[in-house]
Amino acid sequence: MAFLDVENGKQVHYEHHRGGGARPVVLVHGWGATTQCWDTTLTALLKAGHEVALIDHRACGRSDKDFDDVSIEAIASDVVALVRHLGLREPVLNGWSLGGAVVAAAAAELGDDLRGLVLTGGATPRYTRTEDWPHGGTAADVEGILAGLEADRPTTFRGIAGAVCAKPVGDDVVEGFWLQFMQSGTRSTETMRSLIALDQRDLIGTIRCPVLSLHGTEDAFVAFDGAKAAIPLFRDARLVEFPGVGHAPFVEDAETYLSELLAFVR
């Protein structure tokens, strides 16, 4: 296993697949998940010859669990550090769910060193609604989930795993998500809490590379109407709708998802 030293002796876990030399892609998972969520996506990218790097968030997967700073900005800084550590040239960043907010922040920092940005059900520019952003849930919704985790972590994560997909995907897939969530540390709740106030509307307007948003119309976690509203805020963005699909288009409609992703990366 490979680890990157990032803060006060703490490490984040990453994978680096050199592939066949085609454009590098960095995959950033969603809140509480692990790099394993990208298994089918990784396989398709490697078959197409792409170099691929994957990273576990702070307090998730095989990364250390006792970070002091588990904010979205801190995780984004880890993504930037990984890109530079590996010497990736003009990569494409792909972030799922909360990972979408992470890669948006990383993209703003990487600037012209980045070739493209993919948002897979991305929680950007906002996760919760405000008076001038009528999309998404409320701060109380987030706090309710986090309170459930504090009281009964296995059962709450089981419920979250069951709500990821809108289409029938089978018990094994749901179990797979649940097992990933159960690898996260208790500090990961603070990462989720940081989404409440996060507002990247100004930030995403500074991203100069092309952006592809892949979003299910029945997403129970990141509002589809928010994904639509975000497109005009980018300089160059396109939204692909996945009808009847929930929060994991790479699982629920893998054929369309991989076709769109590979075409964009090419």
The model's pLDDT over 236-266, given as tens digits with 9 standing for 90+, comes to 999 999 999 999 999 999 999 999 999 999 9
The model's pLDDT over 1-40, given as tens digits with 9 standing for 90+, comes to 799 999 889 999 999 999 888 899 999 999 999 999 999 9
* Structure tokens that stand for 222 in this block: 């990141």
Look at residues 31, 210, 204 and name the one whose alpha carbon lies nearest to residue 133: 204
Residue with tokens 């709500």: 163
Q: For strand 237-242 and strand 22-28, is the pairing parallel, antiparallel, or unpaired?
A: unpaired
- The Cα 156–Cα 178 span in angstroms is 10
User: Whole-prediction pTM value?
Assistant: 0.97
Q: How many helices (H) and strands (E) does the chain have?
A: 11, 8
Q: Which amino acid does the sequence have at 251?
A: V
Please give the full DSSP string across 7-58, using - where no structure is assigned.
ETTEEEEEEEE-TTSEEEEEEE--TT--GGGGHHHHHHHHHTTEEEEEEPPT
Helix (H, G, I), strand (E, B) or coil at 124: coil
The model's pLDDT over 208-229, given as tens digits with 9 standing for 90+, comes to 999 999 999 999 999 999 999 9
Q: Which amino acid does the sequence have at 23?
A: R
Q: Judge contact between 135 and 226, C-beta under 8 A.
A: yes
> At 95, phi and psi to the nearest 5?
-120, 130
The model's pLDDT over 162-218, given as tens digits with 9 standing for 90+, comes to 999 999 999 999 999 999 999 999 999 999 999 999 999 999 999 999 999 999 999
